[in-house]
Structure formats: C-alpha cells, structure tokens
Amino acid sequence: MSVLTNSALDCAVDATPAPQHARSKIGVIVCSQREPRAGDQIATFVLETLRELQKTNPSPRPYELILLDLKDHPLPMYNEPAIPSQIHSASEYKYPHTRAWSELISSFQAFVFVTPQYNWGYPASIKNAIDYLFNEWKGKPALVVSYGGHGGGKAAAQLQQVLQGLDMQVVKDFVGLKFPDRPFLVKAAKGHDLGLQAATDEGHVKADAVIESVDEKQKDAVWAKETKEIGAAFRDLVALLNS
C-alpha cells in the first residue's frame, strides 16, 4: 500500500478516533455544487461501486459509506476570525455554519473526495469547505477520485497536495475518470443522465475475479476498467482505516 505523507507535519492526530468496536463512517464527498452538475451522479456511481466492493471484501472493522454533498452544507466564503488549526472544539468557532460543518466532519473517519477538474484545478467549493476546518480532517485516510475531459488528473494532484497539508493519510494513487467522448462532456456539463447506474446494476463491479470474466457488453460500460482502479485504491483506504 502506498501513502503520501507530509513529514513536516508529523504530529499526533488531534481528531478523536472512533472506538475500536464502533462502525466507521466513510464519507464520499461530492466536491462540486453548481446547478446543474454531473458531480452528484458521478459520486453516486463511485459510492455504489464501493458498496458492491464492500459486499465481497469484508473489512475486519465494519464501515458505512455515506454520500456527503457540499450542496447540502452550503458555506459562505471563509469568514471565521480564527485559524482553524488553533481550534480543538466546535464550540470555539464563531459561526453556526462552521460548528455544524465541524461536527459533521468530526463524525467521519475517512473520506473519498470525488472532484471535477475546473480550469486545470479543483473547484473553489471544495477548497472553501476544506479550509473551514483543520483538526477535523487531520490524520484521517483520504482517497481522491477525479473526473473531466482528460480524467481530471491535474485537479486530483493539486487536491492531494492540499490534503497532505492537512496531514491526512492520502492514498498515493488517485483514480481519474476520463470522459469517453465529446458528447459525454457536453452531457456532464449540462447535468444530463450519464447512464452510470448500468455499471453497477449489471454486476461488473465486483471482485477482481468477476471483473476478469465480464462479458463484452459489461466491458463496454462507461468506466468498467476504472472501477477496478477504484477498488484497488479503496482497499488501500480501508487498510489505512484499519491500521
């Protein structure tokens, strides 16, 4: 398993870990919040892919996968007077919107960031949501899944660097979901149905052995190959959670 580390910030994790017997919560974050958008469909596709994987790959410590949509937690442009790294309790934040966001993120033990590429970077919405907090993210495992015309690799690399700055345990290999063609890019931009459910409903997103034996139709499903990459990267995330 490969992890990106930040030795300059090699200090104790401040967020309270979940008790050993407790079910961990892994948040799958929808990083865009424009209307319309493709982000909710793509993050749901990632979530369903991970749920299929969960059925065939039991973890020693149980976990729950939950969609976390930034649109459901709107935050103004960063306006707290304090520096988040100096804050260790939600009650110390000035604004109710920050306290609610802090309590929500504190209740999760790991994250999958599903981000589009905007002008060769990640969207401001996720940077703003990240910047509000520090200790709530610190030390927790994180995986980046990006999407875009070329797979969003530039956004993913930049986001990984930011997450390292928060001293998160970042899975080294991000997954890039490349839009297969121009019509797909246009549909995504308009928030039209991308037909991604078929990828999980038809069952090709299972264990590696199943993926090897998929029929031609399933192989042609959008991101059939990438689901295997999502699975491999997610296994690294779960291993970090259990370590």
Ligand X SMILES: Cc1cc2nc3c(=O)[nH]c(=O)nc-3n(C[C@H](O)[C@H](O)[C@H](O)COP(=O)(O)O)c2cc1C
Ligand Y SMILES: NC(=O)C1=CN([C@@H]2O[C@H](COP(=O)(O)OP(=O)(O)OC[C@H]3O[C@@H](n4cnc5c(N)ncnc54)[C@H](OP(=O)(O)O)[C@@H]3O)[C@@H](O)[C@H]2O)C=CC1
Q: Residue 108 and residue 23: Cα distance in Å, rounded?
A: 10
Bridge-based pairing state of the strands 3-4 and 169-171: antiparallel
Residues in the chain: 243
Binding at 153: pick from ligand X, ligand Y, none (beta carbon under 5-8 Å per type): ligand Y
Short-list 87, 160, 95, 93, CA closest to 126: 160
Asked if residue 120 binds ligand X (CB under 6 A), the reply is yes
Sole binder of ligand X in the list 116, 141, 176, 231 (CB under 6 A): 116
Q: Cβ 36 to ligand Y, closest distance in Å? A: 14
Q: By rule CB under 6 A, what string of x and - marks binding of each residue 23-52 to ligand X?
A: ---------x-x--xxx-------------
Q: Residue 224 and residue 218: Cα distance in Å, rounded?
A: 7
* Cβ proximity of 242 and 60 under 8 Å: yes
Q: Cβ 219 to ligand Y, closest distance in Å? A: 23
Binding site for ligand Y (CB under 6 A): 119, 148-150, 153-154, 185
Binding at 34: pick from ligand Y, ligand X, none (beta carbon under 5-8 Å per type): ligand X
Q: Cβ 67 to ligand X, closest distance in Å? A: 14
> CA–CA distance from 18 to each of 21, 106, 190 (Å)?
8, 10, 40
* Residue list 179-208, contact with ligand X (CB under 6 A): 188-189
Residue nearest to ligand Y (CB): 149
Chain center to CA of 153:
14
Asked if residue 100 binds ligand X (CB under 6 A), the reply is no
- DSSP reduced 3-state for 36: coil
Q: Cβ 242 to ligand Y, closest distance in Å? A: 32
- DSSP reduced 3-state for 182: helix
* Cβ proximity of 114 and 46 under 8 Å: yes
Binding at 206: pick from ligand X, ligand Y, none (beta carbon under 5-8 Å per type): none
Residue ranges binding ligand X (CB under 6 A): 32, 34, 37-39, 116-120, 148-150, 188-189
